[in-house]
Amino acid sequence: MINGLNIGIVLFLIGLYGIITNKNVIKMVMSLGVMGNSIVLFFISLGYITDGEAPIMTSGVKQIVDPIPQTLMLTMIVINLCLTALALTIIVWLYNEFGTLDMREIG
Amino acid sequence: MIEHLPIFLLITPLISGLIVTLISISSKTEKIQKIITFISLSLPFLYLTLLFQELSDGVIEYNIGGWTKPYAITLVVDDLAFALLVITSIVTFLSFIYSLKCMRETGGNFCFFYLLMTTGLYGIFLTGDIFNLYVFFELTVISSYILITFGDKRTSLMASFKYLIMGSIASFFFLLAIGLLYIKTGLLNIEYLSMNIHQIDCQTQMVIFSLFLVALGIKAAIIPFHVWLVSAHSTAPSPVSAVLSGITVKTGVYIFIRIFTLGCTLQNLNETLIALGALTALGGVTGALVEWDIKRLLAYHTISQMGFIIVGIGTFSDIGITGGIYHIVNHAVFKGLLFLCAGSIIYRTGTSDIREHGIGRTMPITLITYIIAALAISGITPFNGAVSKSLIEASVYNYPIIRLILVFASIGTVAHFSKIFYYSFIKTQKHRDPLRYQEVPFSMLIPMVILAFLCILLGIIPNIWLDNFILPATSSIIGGYNVIQFKLFDALLILKEMIIVALGIILLKVIIVRSKDIDRLRTFISKFNLNICIFLMAITLVFVLVIFSLSN
């Protein structure tokens, strides 16, 4: 039962719970990071095969790991990095404007 | 040359964005950057004219990587994509012209992010690959997060942050659904997915479509997921609001249509969507009751009109989808125009509170364009909103409750637009001298006049547009259609509109008299902050899953 797919889903829900309950904006961005990484885990284990090899088709290679999810996740990691950087930039501006990181006070 | 046109649509804004940034490093003058942006936003008209001739021969496909079909990265231009590409190019171009005078002292940054957002929008409509939809959507929303912060600093930062959190959650749900689809079929190409989706068992389909519903619900601002829209659209600079409200929200619906064409075999999917759409149509109007800020009012009406579109798409009949697509185009035109009008009023008066406007007849062209847009969004006969609204209402003929809700939403729409009309234009401020206001600069008037002209043109000769653009788009989704001949001056329809207008004005009177109840409603609505709305979203996901599992 403990495989990458299930743990990915559990981590996804933990991240969602974090966003719902946290009032601190930095903690919200951290929860977002957890959600993003859970997606990466989900996709990578989706193409995983036990004893599979890298998808370079020389002679003797029989079982290969599916390369498409991995390439998709490369794109997704880059986008997620960009999102996190932007979110933290906005938080710096927010802190300069309001002097607090609490969602309830910022409004 | 001709066969490379789809990729040119993407490359032109992208490369000119790069050039604009490179120039902004070396020189401080904005003139060259604005000229480059202007040219690269007007070139798509040429491409689209050439594409229209090509399109008569059938769907245009463009393989980028040179791989064979199911694994290729393809750009697909069918009639639906073409109709939305045309309206995208019109709205982005006109909003940019408007922003020349309105957005000063932003340097090349504004041009760069604006071009990036345009690239993302073209990409969403062009791509034939479900993962690239995600990539282009992220390109669009990341640049719009930044564009929103060009507005008023204090409020727009928080709006941008809320939008970022909700948009990211939507993307993650979308990716999860893509992952599940990939596990079951091993495909990402939309065309091939639609051939293979019947192999997936019912349980998995349920989960996949619930995840898609949450992801696209956030993007299209269906009611429990709408929390980001109002603050984001109201605090952005007006030309950006016009694009966000006109096009970016519609991308959610567009992806909805694409997902629907996968042809899933679920029961009650249509009914769920129609119910959510009706809730959205009514909820948006109710939210607008408490607002005195002109841009927040318009943003709430975007939610309401999205409800109309979702109802039309949700029926998945030919007439409903025709109405939905026509309303997407119409809403882009008149909501873009309304945001530009609001921008002009704020540009001259310096405030967005409608109680302090009172500009009277000092801005005649803004007044006329506002009246045209308000009549169009209320669905009064000679204008374009009437055509699409009556098509949507005809499509839910079998659901009398939904029809009633849509009529209520129309009454609310009339009430709110006469509210803006009464406070901003008719009622004059005593302590202010109305003569000090004057008409906005010429370059801000041109886009408004063109959009107002489009409102009339799309309404007076609806059959030409229906036959050439909208019905082919419908047939590209459901593979066939009945010819709809729309009768323009139907006596019964006009009588119905008159009653709606009369009831709307009575409702406005009630709103003004019973302001205490409105205040109570305001405190109720202000309780829905970000955390509670995400919680509601999760509840809705579970609820939808339960409905699907009970009926399948």
Which chain B positions have a beta carbon within 8 Å of A72's beta carbon?
131
Structural domain tally of chain B?
Answer: 1
- Asked if pLDDT for residue B183 goes beyond 70, the answer is yes
From residue B466, how far is each of B135, B376, B450, B460 by CA, in Å? 32, 17, 21, 12
* Inter-chain CB proximity A43 and B175 less than 8 Å: yes
Cβ atoms within 10 Å, residue B14: 17
Digit-coded pLDDT (tens) for B357-414: 777 677 888 888 988 998 888 888 788 888 888 888 888 888 889 889 998 899 989 9
Q: Are B133 and B177 in contact (CB under 8 A)?
A: no
Mutant choice from A22, A45, A103 vs B, greatest count of B C-beta within 10 A = A103
- Asked if pLDDT for residue B474 goes beyond 80, the answer is no
User: Greatest CA separation found in chain A?
Assistant: 64
Residues of chain A contacting B, Cβ within 8 Å: 12, 16, 19-23, 25, 28, 32, 35-36, 39, 42-43, 46, 68-69, 72, 75-76, 79, 82-83, 86-87, 90-91, 93-94, 97-98, 103-104, 106-107
Give the containing element (helix H, strand E) for B61. Answer: strand B60-63
Q: Amino acid identity, residue B295?
A: K
Per-residue exposure over B407-426, b if at least 16 CB sit within 10 Å of its own CB, e if not: ebbbbbbbbbbbbbbebbbe
Q: For all residues of chain A together, what is the average pLDDT?
A: 88
- Asked if pLDDT for residue B73 goes beyond 80, the answer is yes
* Inter-chain CB proximity A46 and B179 less than 8 Å: yes
pLDDT value, residue B444:
86
What are the backbone angles phi and psi of residue B482, rounded to the nearest 5°?
A: -95, 145
**Residue B3 within a domain:** no
pLDDT value, residue B107:
66
Q: Which residue of A lies nearest to B537 if distances are taken between CA atoms?
A: A20
In angstroms, the CA B126 to CA B48 distance is: 12
pLDDT value, residue A30:
93
Q: Which of B145, B529, B534 sits opposite A86 (nearest CB)?
A: B145
Digit-coded pLDDT (tens) for B494-549: 888 888 888 988 888 888 888 788 888 888 877 777 777 778 888 888 888 888 88
In angstroms, the CA B351 to CA B472 distance is: 44
Q: In Å, how far is A53's CA from the nearest CA of chain B?
A: 19
Give the containing element (helix H, strand E) for B75. Answer: strand B74-77
Torsion angle (degrees, nearest 10) of CA B52, B58, B62, B67: 180
**Secondary-structure class of domain A4-106 per CATH:** mainly alpha
Structure confidence at residue A35 as a pLDDT band (50, 70, 90): very high
* Inter-chain CB proximity B176 and A42 less than 8 Å: yes
Task: Identify the domain containing residue B453 by its residue range.
Answer: 269-511
Structure confidence at residue B124 as a pLDDT band (50, 70, 90): very high
Q: Amino acid identity, residue B534?
A: I
* Inter-chain CB proximity B164 and A87 less than 8 Å: yes
Q: In Å, how far is A70's CA from the nearest CA of chain B?
A: 12
Give the containing element (helix H, strand E) for B62. Answer: strand B60-63
Q: Which of A25, A46, A75 sits opposite B183 (nearest CB)?
A: A46
pLDDT value, residue B457:
87
Average pLDDT of the segment spanning A25-37: 92
Residue the block writes with tokens 């075999």: B265
Residue the block writes with tokens 């909501």: B335
Q: Is B127 helix (H, G, I), strand (E, B) or coil?
A: strand
Mutant choice from B165, B173, B208, B231 vs A, greatest count of A C-beta within 10 A = B165
What angle, 0 to 180 degrees and rounded to 10, lies between the N-to-C axes of helices B384-395 and B442-460? 40
Q: Can you read off the two tokens belonging to residue B20? A: 């604009």
Query: DSSP characters for A19-44?
Result: HHH--BHHHHHHHHHHHHHHHHHHHH
What letter would DSSP give residue B425?
Answer: I
Q: Are B20 and B111 in contact (CB under 8 A)?
A: yes
Which chain B positions have a beta carbon within 8 Å of A82's beta carbon?
142
Residues of chain B contacting A, Cβ within 8 Å: 71, 131, 134-135, 138, 142, 145-146, 149, 153-154, 157-158, 160-161, 164-165, 168-169, 172, 175-176, 179, 182-183, 188, 529-531, 534-535, 538
Which chain A positions have a beta carbon within 8 Å of B529's beta carbon?
103-104
Structure confidence at residue B259 as a pLDDT band (50, 70, 90): confident
Q: For all residues of chain B together, what is the average pLDDT?
A: 85
Where does B236-363 have alpha helices with state H?
Answer: 238-243, 249-260, 269-289, 294-315, 318-349
Q: In Å, how far is B505's CA from the nearest CA of chain A?
A: 34
Cβ atoms within 10 Å, residue B30: 20
pLDDT value, residue B432:
59
Q: Where are the domains of chain A?
A: 4-106
Contacts (Cβ under 8 Å, ≥6 apart) of B8: B43, B47
Q: Which of B135, B158, B165 sits opposite A106 (nearest CB)?
A: B158
Mutant choice from B171, B231, B536 vs A, greatest count of A C-beta within 10 A = B171
Highest mean pLDDT range out of B189-193, B245-249, B312-316? Answer: B245-249
* Inter-chain CB proximity A69 and B179 less than 8 Å: yes
Supply angle C-alpha B544, B545, B550, rounded to 5. 100
pLDDT value, residue B33:
85
Contacts (Cβ under 8 Å, ≥6 apart) of B446: B94, B97
Considering just the CA atoms, what is the radius of gyration of chain B in Å? Answer: 22
**Residue B23 within a domain:** no
Tell me the percentage of chain B whose pLDDT exceeds 70.
95
pLDDT value, residue B91:
92
Give the containing element (helix H, strand E) for B471. Answer: helix B471-478
Q: In Å, how far is B239's CA from the nearest CA of chain A?
A: 22
Which chain A positions have a beta carbon within 8 Å of B145's beta carbon?
86, 90
Tell me the percentage of chain B whose pLDDT exceeds 90.
19
**Residue B433 within a domain:** yes
Average pLDDT of the segment spanning B237-254: 90
Q: Is B63 helix (H, G, I), strand (E, B) or coil?
A: strand
In angstroms, the CA A94 to CA A97 distance is: 5
Q: Can you read off the two tokens belonging to residue B94? A: 């006109």
Q: In Å, how far is B330's CA from the nearest CA of chain A?
A: 32
Considering just the CA atoms, what is the radius of gyration of chain A in Å? Answer: 19
pLDDT value, residue A61:
78
Better-predicted residue by pLDDT, B248 or B522 = B248
Better-predicted residue by pLDDT, B352 or B140 = B140
Q: Amino acid identity, residue A47?
A: G
Digit-coded pLDDT (tens) for B57-68: 778 888 887 777
pLDDT value, residue A63:
82
Contacts (Cβ under 8 Å, ≥6 apart) of B269: B209, B548
Per-residue exposure over B370-403, b if at least 16 CB sit within 10 Å of its own CB, e if not: bebbbbbbbbbbebbbbbbbbbbbbbbeebeebb
CB pairs under 8 A between A and B: 85
- Asked if pLDDT for residue B228 goes beyond 70, the answer is yes
Q: Please list the residues that pair with B127 across neighbouring strands.
A: B75
- Asked if pLDDT for residue B19 goes beyond 60, the answer is yes
Q: Which residue of A lies nearest to B528 if distances are taken between CA atoms?
A: A107
pLDDT value, residue B433:
62
Q: In Å, how far is B159's CA from the nearest CA of chain A?
A: 10
pLDDT value, residue B199:
81
- φ/ψ region of B222 (left if φ > 0, alpha if ψ in -120 to 50, else beta) reads beta
Contacts (Cβ under 8 Å, ≥6 apart) of B211: B173, B174, B176, B177, B180, B541
Contacts (Cβ under 8 Å, ≥6 apart) of B252: B216, B217, B218, B219, B220, B221
Length of chain A: 107
Q: Are A15 and A25 in contact (CB under 8 A)?
A: no
Residue the block writes with tokens 């940054």: B109
In angstroms, the CA B459 to CA B380 distance is: 10
Which chain A positions have a beta carbon within 8 Å of B165's beta carbon?
19, 28, 32, 87
**Residue B420 within a domain:** yes
In angstroms, the CA B482 to CA B60 distance is: 24
Please state the pTM of the whole predicted model: 0.92
Digit-coded pLDDT (tens) for B89-112: 999 999 999 888 877 667 678 889
Q: Which residue of A lies nearest to B134 if distances are taken between CA atoms?
A: A76
